[in-house]
Structure 1
Amino acid sequence: MVLLHGTRVHATRRGTALTTTAHPIRTYDRRSGAESLGPHPGTDGLVLTGLDGHLGPPEDHRGTVLLHDGRRLLGSCRGFTRILPPGRSDPPIVLRGLSPGAELRRALATATRRTLDLGEAALEVRDDRGEPFAELLMWVTVSSWCPSALGSGSGSGLIDLELEGKLSVPVPEHARPLWERWLAGRPQTPGTWAALDTRQRWAWLDHVLSRPRPGTGVDRPAGQAYELDGRPVTDVPGLYLALGEAVNGPGGYFGANLDALHDCLGGGFGHSGPGTLLWHDSAVAREHLSHALTPDGRPYDLFGAALEVLAESRMRVTLA
């Protein structure tokens, strides 16, 4: 079995080479990577599985298909067929020791089908320090409730509430240790993510991107000087994690792609231009990010593109 963990796998149709004739067909979601299940019985085909959030293959395509992970060619095949998995059935979620607010108490007191349908609800999670950790959206209905054993007595008012419906996507298994680490509080030292592999770095970046940021919108005065530790910038998520920490400290966010980086440089994310950035060990990023592949298989220089975005937004970069 071949495992492609930590990769974002792309398929492109090809004329004769991985050139400008390539067009996007399929992209596997980076957060799960893709896994080979081995040969398809009775054929010379290979079955890959992964989460798909992008384009399916064109039905009229009968040519060669190339697979790559954003950095290197992984292989080619004569065809690519999309197979949809069966629908996922969400188990109920139980909130134990819940102190219901006035609106929920009224809904439970009425207990009609209409009032128990909560529609869109947000589950706000806080870390061990009481700081915002995550906000998970759900579309749920109350299925049952009862007094909670976590209460100090029958008059505590705490309940166990069971909800059914469309819940947030569960945390991937490979991301659970990272969540446990974040639940202890935001990192206090830079580079906590540096030892992670690419797959886990994407999960770390996903959390940095999605976690509530109470200070968003408050920028430091123009003219700030930042320093970036370039030693761990060996992949795409590492680039954005390092930029986030350079500007906003350990666990900080400052873009998760080039468009988002441009938006952050425009203000509202802790920085207001102009500014300066001293990029230590920049040769590491140049080596690993200068020869990337777009989803449709075109070569591009991510390192150079990031420098252009920074320069266009009045961030003067010194490479060291």
Structure 2
Amino acid sequence: MEATGEREECRYSLTGDDDEDTPWGFAHDCTGLFTPLKDDHRLVDLRGCAPEGGLLAAVDRVGGRDACAGNAYLTLLDAAGATMGSYFVGGVTVTAVKPSALGKGLFDVTVRLWCQNAFPGSAGVWELIRTRQLNRNGLWRSVGPAGRLAWLSVAMLSRGYRHRTDNGDRAPGHVFRLDGRQVIDVDSFYCALGEAVDGPGGYFGWNLDALDDCLGGGWGASPPFTLEWQHSEVARTRLVRQRSLHQGTATLFEVLLEIFADHGVEVVLK
């Protein structure tokens, strides 16, 4: 098979993990990536695809053992073709191929693959970034409980793209303001904290280990700084799950305060 389709306006690319400079193909659309099957496998349709490299070789062998192209990175592209973020996908295996209605020389390629962190609900967040509509605070509050983990994952994966022209962390001593009324569970805490530190769609951790890493610098803020936690009593009543500490157990709220203190962050509870 020879792929002759153009790459203009392609929103996805696939690249083998052993050589990121050699693309496996570009696609106008992609469905199924954020719909996990059993054990994080997914059946993904690359629509309007121009197969190259390893993917093209696998397409030519569909139905046989060699239809597995191997491991790759599935990358989301903006309107100019720049990388917004990528997912590692394992065992990319072509299961079907047909000519595409999206253009001459293009194909709709169905692949089975494994991906661990492409959470349901992520597609809408990526579209906000691609269309430059992730431009004001509070948008994450509309996604609901099931969508907050997806929001956080996209915030982490897209941070390099969204801050590609930034100059790094805020200067030490900066005051960040966190609204405790937005904290209704642990994921909403991280969504609100990311936004407080890093702006709309911001990321500053999505679990305790990730928060500890972010406090080491390079994610928008480097201690010492001040976190003014407004309506903190509201958050205190909701972050009550017990966590282990070296001296016993404590609520998540208390653990967070200790982590901030250990890194030289002054938390002002209001």
So what's the TM-score if we normalise by structure 2? 0.67
Offset, 1:253? 1.0
Comparing both structures, which one devotes a greater share of its residues to helix?
2
User: Does the 8 A contact of 1:123 with 1:138 survive in 2?
Assistant: no
Query: How is 1:53-132 mapped onto 2 (pairs within 5 angstroms)?
Result: 92-101=43-52, 103-104=53-54, 107=57, 111=61, 116-126=67-77, 132=84
Q: Once the 2 structures are TM-superposed, how far is the Cα of residue 183 of structure 1 from its aligned partner?
A: 1.3
CA–CA distance in 1 between the matches of 2:149 and 2:117? 16
Residue 264 (structure 1) aligns with: 214
In the other structure, the counterpart of 2:241 is 292
Describe how 1:1-320 pairs up with structure 2 within 5 A: 92-101=43-52, 103-104=53-54, 107=57, 111=61, 116-126=67-77, 132=84, 135=87, 137-151=89-103, 153=104, 157-164=105-112, 166-168=113-115, 175-176=120-121, 179-185=123-129, 187-195=134-142, 197-211=144-158, 213-214=160-161, 215=163, 218-289=168-239, 291-294=240-243, 300-320=250-270
Greater relative contact order (Cα < 8 A, sep 6+): 1
Work out which of the two has the higher radius of gyration on C-alpha atoms and give 1 or 2.
Answer: 1
Per-residue CA shift, 1:176-216, capped at 9, x if unaligned? Answer: 3x632541326222222335543433343344345563348
Question: Which consecutive residues of structure 2, in runs of 5 or more, have no partner in the other structure?
Answer: 1-35
Superposed CA RMSD in Å reads 3.6
C-alpha displacement of 1:141 = 2.2
Q: Identity over the aligned pairs, expressed in percent?
A: 37
Structure 2 counterpart SS, 1:267: coil
Amino acid at match of 1:132: M
CA-to-aligned-CA distance 1:76-128 (integer Å, 9 cap, x gap): xxxxxxxxxx9669674331211234x24762697596764311122212467
Contact 2:59 2:97 (C-alpha < 8 Å) held by counterparts: no
SS at match of 2:197: helix
SS at match of 1:252: coil
Aligned length: 224
Deviation at 1:314, TM superposition (A): 1.6
Measured after TM superposition, the shift of residue 244 of structure 1 is 0.8
Q: What is the TM-score with the length of structure 1 in the denominator?
A: 0.58
SS in 2 for 1:231: helix
Change (3 A) 1:232 1:100: same
Q: CA deviation at 1:161?
A: 2.0
- What stretches of structure 1 of length at least 5 have no aligned partner? 1-50, 52-85
Cα deviation code 1:263-289 (max 9, x no counterpart)? 100012122221112111111112222
Could you tell me which amino acid in structure 2 is paired with residue 158 of structure 1? Answer: L
